[in-house]
Amino acid sequence: MTLTLTPLSGIPLIQPGDDLAGIILRSLAAANIELVDGDILVLTQKIVSKAENRLVNLTKVVPSPAAIDLAKEVAKDPRLVELVLQESNLVLRKRPGTIIVEHRLGFVCANAGIDHSNVRGETGEPEDWVLLLPKDADASAQTVRQRLETISGARLGVLIIDSHGRAWRMGTVGTTIGLAGMPGLADLRGKPDLFDFHLQITQVGVADELAAAASLVMGQAEEGTPVIHVRGFPYPLREASLGEILRPKEQDLFR
């Protein structure tokens, strides 16, 4: 098996309303890459959120009493905390500097994934602008996928990723927040190992594995490579959604 991840160059700074699929197609053409069945495009959350105009100016946010109280506990701007609460189903943990929540899309993350880095609005002070995650990252991935498939004629997958921390390890890793046309999990239960023992519980988080690999190629700072073309993904493409990756609450020992 050969898995090839190619960062696409020439992606401009994304603005609200930009046509991500068209931008990706132009970048693929410049790289002499023709899409074929089984290819996957991995996109950072940031460019999807920017294209969908998920930018918020904190000067326009009025914090609620709950946000003001929580902001005192965690030593954060109450306006930012208000956005965190709006974007979350539940606050799970808190300490100065960090609020761990169940995001409204179902996954657990810090500060509802709201980000200051590499974010700038059209007016005002740069530090006043933050970026929210996409409203429905699965739908965002599906929109890009359908356009790319229509134009290329190829069967494709699209993965939208973000950088998340982990409860039991230091450091952030690329993590799936939305997908279309590709599996989130590969169920290996019943398959034999080298010694003909049939696997009992093994399900591989293949979308997250690819997200981490793509994040390594993208970088985390000023690299400017928010889209990765993937060829050689070792699992069949199929319809899926983020829901199949999320552990049910009754099985979550860390809640």
pLDDT at 86 over 60: yes
Asked if residue 127 belongs to a domain, the reply is: yes
Q: How confident is the model at residue 23 (pLDDT cuts 50, 70, 90)?
A: very high
Residue that finishes a domain, picked among 88, 112, 131: 131
pLDDT at 173 over 70: yes
Mean pLDDT of all residues in 187-210: 73
Task: Give the 3-state secondary structure of residue 170.
Answer: strand
Same domain, 104 and 32: no
Q: For 225-237, what is each residue's pLDDT tens digit?
A: 999 999 999 999 9
Same domain, 41 and 71: no
* Higher-scoring residue by pLDDT: 254, 231: 231
**Structural domain count, the chain:** 2
Same domain, 78 and 145: no
Mean pLDDT of all residues in 65-79: 97
In this structure, are residues 4 and 130 in contact, taking their beta carbons and an 8 Å threshold?
Answer: no
Same domain, 84 and 176: no
Mean pLDDT of all residues in 159-183: 94
Asked if residue 254 belongs to a domain, the reply is: no
Asked if residue 250 belongs to a domain, the reply is: no
105: containing domain: 55-131
Asked if residue 17 belongs to a domain, the reply is: no
How high is the pLDDT of residue 131?
95
Residue that finishes a domain, picked among 102, 131, 160: 131
Asked if residue 251 belongs to a domain, the reply is: no
Least confident of 4-8, 51-55, 106-110, 219-223: 219-223
Q: 159 has which bridge partners?
A: 42, 179
Same domain, 239 and 117: no
Residues in CB range of 54: below 8 A, 6 or more apart:
131, 132, 133, 134, 135
* CATH code assigned at 222: 3.30.1330.100
pLDDT at 81 over 90: yes
* CATH code assigned at 76: 3.90.1660.10
How high is the pLDDT of residue 99?
96
Q: Which residue has the tokens 């939208």?
A: 160
pLDDT at 57 over 70: yes
pLDDT at 36 over 60: yes
